[in-house]
Amino acid sequence: MVRIILDTDIGSDVDDAMALALAMRSPEIQIEGVTTVYGNVDLRAKMARKMAQYGKRDDVRVYAGLNRTLLGNREIWMAGHEGDGLLTEDDKLAYEDRHAVDFIIETVMGQPGEITLVAIGPLTNIAACLIREPRIAQNVKEIVIMGGVTRLGDNGMHMRVVEHNIVCDPEAASLVFNSGAPIVMVGLDVTLKVTITEEERRRLLDTGDPLNMALARMIGKWFEFAKEEISYMHDPLTIALLLDRTLVRTEKMNIRVEYDHRPQTGQTIATLDPSGTVDVCLGVDHARAVGLLMDRLIGGRVGSAL
Ligand code: BDR
Ligand code: CA
């Protein structure tokens, strides 16, 4: 059993909701709690609760976290479509009274070596936990992060681009990557290969299952909003690799995050280091990852490598 806390900016894209759905539909995963981060954390908490309702998982507890960046020195970027296709005005969606940071610290420290933190939004909550209780780094089982870009070229240079979760709060990201905690980093260069299309949306819709239908509606809204015909499954890959590590190829590295206000802010600079603390994903079996996601949601055959 993998015991997780899912720290999410659900609503920024449909992939957070997909990650939560995959976790809820995977018996190997025990969700200790869902924590929300970045901007309108109350709206995000309501979204997570609504997903839990659709998934008939009233046991999934949700805690709202920090609504600003770690230093409060950066604008919050909200797309404006958060909640579209999921929430209605008359939804009564209560979530827990406790702050996400308190919940994470108490849960991790209360069960040393047991809890995996899965971070699929900006790293503000996790950084705040590490400031309040630095021993989180030694007591967490691992931190699986969707964030950053570290594709190494033949010359060992990283790509000079940035990724949303890191660039939104690079100070927080720097603190987390430097904490010494065991980290798995699932970067954009890898997750961009994990995509679904109208075909998968239709398959979800056709199940008639309320959770899948909600996901299908959100994907449809996303197609309209982004004027895209594919939807990127960045965040679900973090959950998928907890189910099957052979989906990804990783290498040990150290990650430095640029966090000053020059143009390179948010870049994740990767250095190969066999004793590094970060397992960086460099490749993914994307067909098998999407297969696993769909099998779990649709309830059919389980991925071949499991
Ligand atoms: C990340 O940014 C968010 O919008 C997605 O949900 C994902 O976590 C991808 O860059
Ligand atoms: Ca996200």
Domains in the chain: boundaries: 2-298
Give the residue numbers annotated as catalytic, written as ranges. 234
Which uninterrupted H or E stretch holds 43? Answer: helix 41-54
Nearest to 222 by CA among 196, 246, 240: 196
Tell me the C-alpha distance between 285 and 46, whole Å.
33
pLDDT grade for 259, boundaries at 50, 70 and 90: very high
Comparing CA positions, the residue from 214, 186, 212, 181 lying closest to residue 283 is 186
Q: Is 231 in the pocket of ligand 1 (CB under 6 A)?
A: no
Smallest Cα–Cα separation from 129: which of 67, 38, 180, 66?
A: 66
Q: Which residues contact 163 (CB under 8 A, 6 or more apart)?
A: 147, 148, 149, 187, 188, 266, 268
Q: What is the pLDDT of residue 305?
A: 34
Amino acid 306: pLDDT: 28
pLDDT at 213 over 90: yes
Q: Does residue 60 have its Cβ closer than 6 Å to ligand 1? A: no
Architecture of the structural domain at 2-298 = Alpha-Beta Complex (3.90)
Say what the pLDDT of residue 160 is.
Answer: 66
Is pLDDT at 112 greater than 70 in this prediction?
Answer: yes
Residue % of the chain over a pLDDT of 70 = 94
Ligand 1 neighbourhood includes 188 CB (under 6 angstroms): yes
Report the C-alpha gap between 251 and 209 in whole angstroms. 39
| Residue 120 beta carbon below 6 angstroms from any ligand 1 atom | yes
Interval 41-88: pLDDT, tens: 999 999 999 999 999 999 999 999 999 999 999 999 887 767 777 888
Residue 153 has pLDDT above 60, yes or no: no
> What is the C-alpha separation between 127 and 101, in angstroms, rounded?
9
Q: Please give all residues whose CB falls under 5 A of ion ligand 2, grouped by chain where several chains appear.
A: 9, 16, 120-121, 235
**Closest ligand by atom to 78 CA:** 1
Pocket probe for ligand 1: among 13, 219, 239, the residue whose CB has the most ligand atoms within 8 Å is 13
Calculate how far, in angstroms, residue 172's C-alpha sits from the geometric centre of ligand 2: 15
Tell whether the model's pLDDT for residue 158 goes beyond 90: no
Least confident of 29-38, 166-175, 216-225: 216-225
Any idea which ligand is nearest the CA of 186?
Answer: 1
pLDDT at residue 139 tops 70: yes
Question: ipTM of this complex > 0.90?
Answer: yes
Which ligand sits closest to the CA of 77?
Answer: 1
Distance between CA atoms of residues 35 and 79, nearest Å: 20
The answer to whether the beta carbons of residues 233 and 293 sit under 8 Å apart is yes
**Cβ of residue 7 lying under 6 Å from some atom of ligand 1:** no
- Mean predicted confidence (pLDDT) in 145-154: 80
What is the mean predicted confidence (pLDDT) over 114-118? Answer: 99
With tokens 């909550």, the residue in question is 125
Alpha-carbon Rg of the chain, whole angstroms?
18
- How confident is the model over 165-192, as a mean pLDDT? 97
Q: CA 223 to CA 56: how far, in whole Å?
A: 27
Which band of pLDDT confidence, cut at 50, 70 and 90, is reported for residue 253? Answer: very high
Q: How confident is the model at residue 100 (pLDDT cuts 50, 70, 90)?
A: very high
Cα 9 to averaged position of ligand 2 atoms, centre (Å): 5
Tell me the CA–centroid distance for residue 232 and ligand 2, in Å: 11
Question: Does the C-beta of 12 come closer than 6 Å to ligand 1?
Answer: yes
